Homo-oligomer: A and B are copies of this chain.
């Protein structure tokens, strides 16, 4: 398929990026999507062996192919990181959309969460020793990593809600507590956890109590308890794991950035990463629409003598999906462009808009695709139910929709003062005009 840049940003994409986009598109369509079926099949079926055990060998072959084609670490933009590639957020965003069409594509090009965010953290906040030990092998795709933040007994919607205790004892930190939804911690290749905990729970500033430390996988005192499922999917081998820390000791040199700076780190981590997530969701939605179109034009699926695509309702599903996907993509591209021109903070509102709109939209489109496939749609015979489940979690991950809506609402609501002043000015003008034109105000005696 010939890759085409969306018209409205066509002039913002460099010729080199356009070439890369075509290469990414070909790689995803020809290599990654077919590989998705193999990845599943290469995993052990016995759940007790699906984690911390093995991983599908086809992934290594894909990684080698991707590296050979220069399709590697494209997420890391030189705009923000000296280790990065010469791509804007907008350009990489377009690539991320393509990655989102396949389950394995992001990993194949070393662009998969949570490694991407973790590499960003290490590149931005890590010291040289930390970079050498952890960032380099991550950038080489030799190891994987997890970000360990959410806790089972706390409302994670409020990121201050952290219980895991990090206590200093001499040259060591001692960690006690538990975490869950540590995505990626189930993978045997996962070698480090970035762990958010409390180093200073009495600090009067609730945003200065947290720190992020590096815990090497296998450190005594840390246990991978179990894996959480997502609508029945276990997402092996990565998994969404529950971890127990019991007197787990690490050297104090494993502190990232400095004690009490955990919030700073997670905030720096979120902006562009959210854009990448959103663009992958766009790709997933496009896959949903593509599967739907293929299905409703399949002659074997005729009902009452008609192709499904000849039913008005189905055509509306297709048209609405087209509109909603395009609207979503534009919202994300707008935010990406803003990040490129200012920074993630300046683009905060636009990132929120995309974060709220896109996963929900992707769920809607994929759900229509499920419905169009009938019983097949909910099953393993098509990737759409699983894609839906993944998109559904994105309405919760990194803060539920409701928290983002509330925050965006608050920001927008700050316009009240200016608007009220304008309306007051206009009202005064109306009164002046009424005098001028000798018109009586009917709402007054």
| A-to-B contact residues, CB < 8 Å | 1, 6-9, 11, 29-30, 33-35, 37-38, 41-42, 45-48, 57-58, 150, 152-158, 161, 180-181, 223, 225-226, 228-234, 240, 242, 244, 289-291, 293-294, 296-298, 300-304, 308-309, 311-320, 322-323, 326-328, 330-331, 333-334, 337-338, 341, 349-350, 352-353, 356-357, 370-371, 374-381, 385-386, 388-389, 392-393, 395-397, 400-406, 408-410, 412-413, 415-416, 418-420, 422-423, 425-426, 429-430, 432-434, 437, 439, 442-443, 445
Contact = CB atoms under 8 A, between A and B. Distances in A.
A298 B331 CA distance: 31
B434 A231 contact: no
Contacts of A370: 392
Contacts of A415: 290, 293
Nearest to A410: B315
Contact of A232 (B320, B389, B410, B423): B389
A300 B155 contact: yes
Contact of A58 (B301, B317, B419, B437): B437
Most buried by B among A232, A371, A408, A420: A232
A9 B12 CA distance: 10
15 contacts: A8-B8, A11-B11, A30-B425, A34-B430, A41-B434, A42-B439, A46-B47, A153-B300, A155-B300, A230-B378, A293-B412, A319-B408, A322-B409, A323-B408, A371-B395
A439 B110 CA distance: 26
A346 to B, nearest CB: 9
Most buried by B among A8, A357, A406: A8
A334 B331 CA distance: 12
Given A353-B326, A443-B225, A400 B416 contact: no
Nearest to A156: B374
Nearest to A353: B323
B445 A225 contact: yes
Contact of A423 (B150, B294, B333): B294
Nearest to A374: B396
Contact of A396 (B240, B331, B378, B437): B378
A374 B353 contact: no
Contact of A406 (B316, B349, B412): B316
A403 to B, nearest CB: 8
B229 A422 contact: no
B319 A409 contact: yes
A161 B375 CA distance: 15
Given A393-B375, A433-B38, A445 B229 contact: no
Contacts of A301: 154-155
B322 A331 contact: no
A302 B155 contact: yes
A45 B47 contact: yes
Contact of A443 (B6, B229, B381): B381
Given A397-B375, A402-B313, A405-B319, A386 B433 contact: no
Contacts of A341: 7
B378 A389 contact: yes
B161 A333 contact: no
A326 B352 CA distance: 12
Nearest to A386: B232
A434 B1 CA distance: 24
State the 10 A-B residue pairs at the shortest beta-carbon distance, nearest first: A232-B232, A315-B409, A232-B233, A330-B330, A34-B429, A312-B312, A319-B409, A297-B416, A327-B327, A158-B303
A370 B400 CA distance: 11
A207 to B, nearest CB: 13
Contacts of A353: 322-323, 326-327
B233 A334 contact: no
Contact of A318 (B30, B38, B158, B409): B409
A35 B420 CA distance: 18
A176 to B, nearest CB: 13
